[in-house]
Structure 1
């Protein structure tokens, strides 16, 4: 019985936390990408927290769109000529080199960073007056055509969880801390590519 009550409380907290979180999307270019052609490389992610978790999330979500035409750069780096990772903003020479080394057609780069993490998972009331605290994460995705060495898509999403509380507010607000914000942002932004792009 106690276990059921605790589960219910956690579920209510998780559901009420959604109202404190907002995601803002922006496509600088290339919202509609043709994912039905060519072979794709997913670069190692750039992040200020957990690279492995971001890589797994990005690989899982982009595989839903690209299937077996997607490969991680880690799976190619056993070849001497293939770099272990590419810069987030590679130049034409670097893109041309990667094309010659792999014979693939496109490169996807993902960057996910925690910008603010002021609350952890719970927002507490201040001892005096009012306080506003925020957790924030920023995610960007860039896609390069290795054949033309051009940037063909650039997008980003910012996830913000913000809570304002007064000293009289004794309730505990569950909010998405920085890492869940960043992880969910990666997933949500990739899903936008699946929604707007041409898929198999």
Structure 2
């Protein structure tokens, strides 16, 4: 097979990889903010649930998490298709790591600003939404960009549950043609290009968020 033929064949799995990465990264950010804020909460239930989630998903293998969701949930009467399992597994994993980024950025906001907002009569939610998050979010972005790229690379494991992503097509094509060098070289560069695009998009988002940071001071 020519490199062009290999490329067109692998494109069949590219859409799944892109959709999986985008959806799991967005959902993972939701988990990260919820659990990162929860870890700092004075509500003990919210706090300890957040801590439990973070420690479990940071302390176990992503592959084991994926297999648990895929094979164990149906035994409990909860069934999802392979795509949703892949999204949730990746999102829960990246969310646990992102939670520590959120917590650290929020704790870095000067305490004097929180004290001033209390004196002005702001509620805890108003302090979080209007004071802390506008300043902390831009500081999270460099690490979040790295996590998003790592999430893209981790998405390759969903081929283990027969989800037809880019890696799945690469493995199948290799087993049929034995064109190992060409197939995995094209696959490598496709992942590399996606990582560059993801970094560029999130970099622009970071610059946009930093434009609004001075307004929160």
Per the TM superposition, whether the score is higher than 0.5 is no
After TM superposition, the score normalised by the length of structure 2 is 0.28
After TM superposition, the score normalised by the length of structure 1 is 0.29
Higher relative helix content: 2
